[in-house]
Structure 1
């Protein structure tokens, strides 16, 4: 596949250079070449030449006098002198039999001056630059030539050159099953025509960032072995009005010519946002709306039986225009969700194929340690593990590399040179042990996997990692309350041991409040409000803001209920630590000395 160039950017640079050249030519070069060689002379020399009969002709202008003198070789030389108040000049010229005339000043039209001095040279240089830029881009391998207004920038992958198949996609079995129909149609369209079935013109891939929407589109093309057009929605929108619509027309024209094929539009929400959202008129984006209208028209204008299938991806489906989602357009929606436990393990194995792995790798443990991770996150974890193995001088990846890479992705790199006082280090040790001890003494908490007080680049001075034994799909009220109590364990340990509090619990407070508010407003886990919906999430795929659906009075009551839950959890954490005060001191001392302990070590000390 050839490297794609950007002809617009290259040509814009050439245009700017052309403008500079035109300015220089008008200011310095043209005047020097167009003006004949003229020698300045004083008025006395002029009169002497007239009296001696050497002057051939004279032109009298407003502020100067130009005259022609024949030299010894018979050649005409031009001279110019300043004009003085000389009433006898005409008589002298007449007596010397010199041809003379007075030039009547006449100004050219401003339009003519503009055309001759600016427009014409500029057009000439534009033509030259277009020719040169086309040749240059072809030499560079772009083959794009001069700027082609309205041309689509879609990358075209011929046949199976995407290099991806469904075997490269893991953790998205439902999405692959839904897209298998598209592959089957492109392979065997006749059996669909015989029964009268029509394949959807447009398929919308919807899911959070990093879940593999683009990979799925390439895999469909790879399985189908048909040309694959790939373009981002942002590439349609230009500063020139009508350019996006022209590019849409050109894209569909190319796709129809290469049918059967697949057209993939990534981030379609860039051009497909609801037209009601912009409000139209003032503040609206006419160029984006024209592009969207053209896309809708093109989708209505081609027949799906020709074998042109449009795939699009977005993580903001709620912003798309309803006209784009109606039957006959993007009427098939394929969810591409975050992978579950089995899916994460399968994804890790897919990415591990390209990396030399050591013996005894437990992908299931890594998958359990990364709930909520996307495919892109898991690929990054495997890559970080490979980088760590190289840094440590090994030729293969070990389990420890993968475990450390999980922490790197979650909390950042270790700050080994961070300077922390002994008092603060001891406080952090008690804080983290407080979390772990409260979690261990509750029946609905996940087991403790690791405790560390080594600072990380994310700003964390330490953390306690818990890993569930299996995949948790639902969360009970008891589990939610235990999570809040675990978050309160760090602050409760500080209060119990040091009789003061620090700023180290800021993230704990934030997370605990978020869970408590969700229990009240979204999960229906409050006796006061029962199952009443109190808020809504604007964008679930991006973890967007929540909007309250209640009055100010009810909002105040919600805050009171959230505070009650947090206070109850805080009291439970304090009670657990008070009952296990001796173990708290013992574990904090052990963690202070070792800095990092595993869940097995923690449970061994706790059970001793």
Structure 2
């Protein structure tokens, strides 16, 4: 070939970029090579070869590379091609070396330059070989862990999500008896999306489905398909579904789907990485419902960000059914505590502790409850006790929800202010008929919370204007008590004012509870709508301020009427630091009613929100 021979190298598919600063052997110029945003073209775990026309490298320098190409686990490449002939080669021992003595220092410099070029070419090939070998090994180790045997998890192990279990029950029956459905012409959902906040048992429910159906279970996380090399995510999707289709029936579970199926944008502002992510999503959509789709694979996925998923993934034929999972209610929490506490040595019976702890943990997920029980056991062991007590569990609930105690970071004057503030919240809640009395009041400084009122969870689905006004009044009770007992309010009421303001704005802007604004809904926040005039915005502010003002006056009236009871509750809090619900009646007297449940009102701003109503 006139002193030149082909050098076989791994083929990169993508844009061509000129290699700068690299001098190849021979004429010292670099040809165009594919780099940067390119990806290996992989087919059936092999690598397509591309012949690059480069100058012949000396046999002495290239022999090592030729032999090393066989030990890369199936990677083919970097073969030097045909050997250089003695007439056209530029080896150190070739024809050019014979005239070295007669050419003086210039020949020696030329020989040294050729030697450096030879080493550079060899290093370039070795680098390509190393990168390609690592990429191919990454393809071979694709995501997806197969449980050939049943997972061992049953529906009885999943607690607090009874509605979700009923939703997926027919899926299990289909996997057990598919012909019963096929005879009727019924098609089972090809994909089921589990939606819910963290810790509610989405992954556990997916494993229970596989355990009940006794079929192979393939697991992958959405982030497993992200890769720095172009096209690797597409290959992983293909490989995962190829493995699953080998079984008669199988389940693929993709955790955290939002990292894989995020909504696509109209413009690719993220460059090649964003384009590769879209290609990976397109491959998933094709595998789930494309031209060659099979019904023996069912895809389960979980996410807590369903709002960011691509619409194409949510259509029927892909994720046909959405199963919403929420934190357990009081009955579900009681079941959680019963199941977990049976594993520990307790100072009281499980049937007595579980209902009590269920009431004291509103808004807790299954993972939170498991953490509470473990923290209680650790505390009991720390104090060398032989059993877990009610005090350990109560302490663990506070520790998990609010943080560690900070007794040394508050002065006696600030502790009294905290007691007055929390007593104000409790007093207002106690004497409003449609609000449940507090379960527990604490002035122990924890984390970012100076104190709190524990009031349970909401049992209301809808909220009237009167009920929402009651909640605002309870929010303002702490500030009013500070002003009337201590003469001025503090920054401890900051979060109470924030919540009360948001609630009053929502009543006017979204629910039509403003007297002068009528039934017109201005959308979330009001100001987000460009068509709202400045006059309308001022009117909304005035209406929200009117609601806050009327409830502030109402709170002052209640505190003035029960001033003695308030001061007695403050002294009890300063003495015991914690007051339980059975102690409140002895201090505050008989209560008018005990209807409904609200939430947590806390100084410092941590709580679950009154009534579960969100703006």
Q: Same fold (TM over 0.5)?
A: yes
Shift of 1:437: 1.4
- 1:236 aligns with 225
Where do residues 403-552 of structure 1 align in structure 2 (5 Å cutoff)? 403-416=394-407, 418-457=408-447, 459-467=448-456, 471-536=459-524, 551-552=532-533
Q: In 2, distance between residues paired with 1:562 and 1:585?
A: 31
- 2:574 aligns with 592
- 1:39 aligns with none
- 1:387 aligns with 378
Q: Is the 8 Å Cα contact of residues 151 and 246 (structure 1) preserved in structure 2?
A: no
Compared CA separation, residues 546 and 226, structure 1 to 2 (3 A): farther
SS at match of 1:195: coil
| 1:154 is the counterpart of 2:141 | no
Shift of 1:531: 4.2
Where do residues 172-321 of structure 1 align in structure 2 (5 Å cutoff)? 172-275=161-264, 277=265, 279-280=267-268, 285-301=274-290, 306-321=295-310
Q: In 2, distance between residues paired with 1:228 and 1:549?
A: 50
Shift of 1:293: 0.7
Q: Structure 1: which 5+ residue stretches go unaligned?
A: 1-29, 31-56, 65-101, 131-144, 538-544
Match of 1:371 among 345, 352, 362: 362
Compared CA separation, residues 201 and 61, structure 1 to 2 (3 A): same
Compared CA separation, residues 230 and 193, structure 1 to 2 (3 A): same
Match of 2:547 among 565, 570, 580: 565
**Number of equivalent positions:** 488
Q: In 1, distance between residues paired with 2:441 and 2:268?
A: 55
Structure 1 window deviating more from structure 2 (435-444 vs 151-160): it is 151-160
Q: Structure 2: which 5+ residue stretches go unaligned?
A: 1-60, 62-98, 591-615
- 1:35 aligns with none
Shift of 1:500: 1.6
Match of 1:108 among 110, 114, 130: 114
TM-score (norm 1): 0.73
- 2:330 aligns with 341
Match of 1:119 among 107, 115, 124: 124
Q: Which aligned runs of 4 or more in structure 1 are off by greater than 4 angstroms?
A: 60-64, 109-113, 120-127, 281-284, 301-306, 545-550
Shift of 1:344: 2.4
Q: Is the 8 Å Cα contact of residues 341 and 471 (structure 1) preserved in structure 2?
A: no
- 1:556 aligns with 538
Shift of 1:472: 3.5
SS at match of 1:108: helix
Q: Is the 8 Å Cα contact of residues 190 and 295 (structure 2) preserved in structure 1?
A: no
Shift of 1:431: 1.5
Larger gyration radius, structure 1 or structure 2: 1
1:321-375 Cα deviation digits (max 9, x unpaired): 2221222211121121232222222233333344344424332332233333322
Q: In 2, distance between residues paired with 1:530 and 1:591?
A: 45
Q: In 1, distance between residues paired with 2:403 and 2:557?
A: 33
SS at match of 2:101: strand
Q: Is the 8 Å Cα contact of residues 200 and 304 (structure 1) preserved in structure 2?
A: no
Compared CA separation, residues 270 and 282, structure 1 to 2 (3 A): closer
SS at match of 1:272: coil
Compared CA separation, residues 264 and 547, structure 1 to 2 (3 A): farther
Over the aligned positions, Cα root-mean-square deviation in angstroms equals 3.1
